[in-house]
Amino acid sequence: MSDYSYIRVSTVEQNLDRQLIAMREIGIPSERIYIDKLSGKDTKRPQLQKLLSIVKPGDKVVVEAISRFARNTRDLLDLVEQLTQKGVEFVSQKEHIDTSTPTGKFMLTVFGAVAELERGYLLQRQKEGIAAAKARGVHLGRPSVSVPDNFGDYAELWRRGKLNLTMTAKSIGISKSTFYRRLREFQLRHK
């Protein structure tokens, strides 16, 4: 049975010292500390995946703060569930969560439920905000890219192989993906 630690900073420039000191103070040796210098936007971080693959029943994963382990509640609960299924405990020092105790399990569940509720409120406010903006006539999404009146001529040159895709898009002043979108729209209008 071993204690491991996971440390994460979002960029190479950020300082790891605070997290490293916290882990060394509780006696976790350097060789059992896994460090990623990446955004926490997903769980496909190399050192996190390596840690998840080597822990065994009876081990413990300690983090300085939940935010260093997972950016959102869904990822947190999924990761902790993966550890639980392997018989591995999870401890977050800052939030005082320790899944080896009934209180720790409860706190993790409460934390997850509150965060999920807040996410629901956020989505609801976002939906209401979008509806209000549309009602005011605000254009949402990517700005529309216009094409010249002679788009059909360029499309025909491209179709005949007189211009390749790159030359066609460049001549019109749009990206290749925009060319394909506008081509589909053009074809639908001119059937």
| DSSP states of 47-108 | HHHHHHHH--TT-EEEES-HHHH-SSHHHHHHHHHHHHHTT-EEEETTTTEETTSHHHHHHH
Report which of 115, 119, 95, 116 is spatially closest to residue 105, judged by C-alpha positions.
95
What is the reported pLDDT for 59? 96
Q: Is the CB of residue 6 less than 8 Å from the CB of residue 48? A: yes
Q: Is the CB of residue 68 less than 8 Å from the CB of residue 7? A: yes
Q: What is the gyration radius of the CA atoms in the chain, in angstroms?
A: 26
Strand 33-37, strand 97-98: pairing: unpaired
* Chain region(s) in the chain for CATH 1.10.10: 151-189
Active site residue 175: no
Beta carbons within 8 Å of 105's beta carbon, 6+ residues apart:
99
Sheet holding 97-98: strands in order across? Answer: 33-37, 3-9, 60-63, 89-92, 97-98
- CATH number, domain 151-189: 1.10.10
- CATH number, domain 3-101: 3.40.50.1390
What is the reported pLDDT for 48? 96
Residues of the chain with pLDDT under 70: 112, 115
Report which of 190, 187, 180, 143 is spatially closest to residue 172, judged by C-alpha positions.
180
pLDDT digits (tens, 9 = 90+) for 130-145: 999 889 988 888 777 7
The active-site residue, picked from 10, 39, 144, 146, is: 10
What is the reported pLDDT for 49? 96
* Chain region(s) in the chain for CATH 3.40.50.1390: 3-101
Q: Is the CB of residue 20 less than 8 Å from the CB of residue 14? A: no
Dihedral sign (CA 33, 38, 39, 42):
negative
DSSP helix/strand/coil, 130: helix
As a whole number of angstroms, the distance between CA 178 and CA 186 comes to: 12
